[in-house]
Chains A and B, each alone.
Chain A
Amino acid sequence: MATFLEGVGSVGVACTLAALVPAVALVLVARKARLTVALYYLVGVTLLTWARASGHWDVELSGAVMSLAPAAAVAGVFVLAYWAKAPASLAAIGSGLVAGALAGWLWRPCVGPKLGEILNSTDTEAARTLGLMLVYMAGALLPAVLLAVLPHALPAVRRFLDCMPVVVVGGAVGVAYAVTLATGRYDDLVGELYRMAADT
């Protein structure tokens, strides 16, 4: 529980926004499969964050590939999420999983006590730390998951979320995500968003 709550507490931290903002945007875009996309995003980001910490994923891109490959992947997953026709579709699962994995790959977290315990033990307690990482990320991505659950709880909200302007907002964030990744300015964008939020 403490691990989950630490994840929830990290929602207001700029470091976490780097992983959370794409998740929220993807949920807005995936009209037919919001919950599937959110849950598989959670799985993807958990797996990659854990794999990086434990040394199982040690891939580093360089040069133009470093900028263009993630940007192309982002563009692809947003299109895929938009075109997903059903919750159990391959497009929904794939877009969530790939987008989450990408976020987990790029994410540089600010580490609190519980996340620190997890990261410090990934090489010695694989299964336990993987489970705890999932719990932590469930907290950190809670706004995206709740946004995905919302239409199931309140049908009136579904109509609002399904309208095109909302989808366009999600898509615009996705485009900004891709462009800033391609230009190497993603961290700066998140930093500015955080500062604007903190100032208001």
Chain B
Amino acid sequence: MVRYLALGVLAAGLAAIVWTALRGDGSGDDPAASPPAADHRAAAAAPTAAPAAETAVAAAGDAEAAVADAADSVVGASEPADPVTEVPQASVPEAATAAAAVAAATVPAEPIEVLGVADTLTDLDGWLNTDAGSLEEIRAANKLTVVQFWTFGCRNCKNTLDALGQIYTDFRDQGVEIVGVHSPEFSYEADVDNIIEAAADLGVVWPIALDTDKRNFHRWQPGNIGYWPRVYVIDGDNQIRFDRTGDGRATYEQLYTTVERLLADA
């Protein structure tokens, strides 16, 4: 009897593994932007986009030279360009836009609550894709700042990049900036060359803060927790208006509508 029960568990478990292997993660809830992913990445990797080629690097101390060297070696950096123009409008996934519009229409018009005061970013190892040297500088130049903690080796983080690209494309010229705080989990993710290469491959054209020692990752997520990815929206008063964990499509549609509504209120 026990043996048959064990065989049943074994068969069911193996079936679940095979099913998942064939169907991706197998969950009913799609990650943030799986269908448009190819579109955005293709656009970002296109020669006209070449986001990394115009990568502006600002780094502190020794990291500065290392980052700059890495940028040169990877892409042969030239002068910085307006990153807004680097994301072709054609890459905007219509399905995601429609979904966001539907979500926006169904979200009740309740005020978006203040979740707390945003922290700053300190002890960074440098910045990529920007001339700015601090979060404050970026915040001061924009109405809203989307801060995401991510690392390039994290599958779930990568699932969110197209949704972030959508926000960047749609709202960048309205005063929304994205800051990707790169907090590596493993040592190979801490290598600046690898980060630059991955950012170029993934089409990450927005500013990246290098949080190699994860000091900011832990300070922003206090209490012995730490998740990738985690995304915040900070308004002009330095208040957190959105704070979610994970790569769910619903989460990033909610992020889109939150940014949209906050911009309308600003």
Contacts and interface: CB of A to CB of B under 8 A. Distances in A.
Nearest to B225: A52
Most buried by B among A59, A109, A194: A109
A11 B247 contact: no
A149 B10 contact: yes
Given A5-B27, A113-B30, A142-B17, A55 B154 contact: no
Contacts of B7: 153
B88 interface: no
B16 interface: yes
B108 interface: no
Contact of A188 (B13, B29, B187): B187
Contact of B225 (A15, A53, A116, A120): A53
Interface in B1-53: 2-3, 5-7, 9-10, 13-14, 16-17, 19-20, 23-31
Contact of A116 (B17, B185, B186, B246): B246
Interface residues of A, number: 50
A33 to B, nearest CB: 15
B251 interface: yes
Contact of B153 (A9, A14, A53, A120): A14
B19 A5 contact: yes
Contacts of B16: 4-5, 8, 139, 142
A75 to B, nearest CB: 22
Given A6-B26, A187-B185, A195-B188, A111 B156 contact: yes
A117 B17 contact: no
Contacts of A150: 6, 10
A5 B20 contact: yes
Interface stretch (B61-69, B72-80, B226-234): B226-234
A110 interface: yes
A139 B17 CA distance: 9
A155 B3 CA distance: 9
16 contacts: A1-B28, A8-B17, A9-B25, A9-B26, A11-B20, A52-B225, A58-B224, A110-B185, A110-B227, A111-B227, A113-B29, A142-B16, A146-B9, A187-B185, A188-B187, A192-B187
Given A116-B245, A117-B246, A192-B188, 20 more contacts: A2-B26, A2-B28, A8-B17, A8-B19, A9-B24, A13-B156, A15-B154, A52-B225, A55-B223, A108-B226, A110-B229, A111-B156, A113-B250, A119-B227, A143-B17, A145-B9, A150-B6, A150-B10, A153-B7, A191-B189
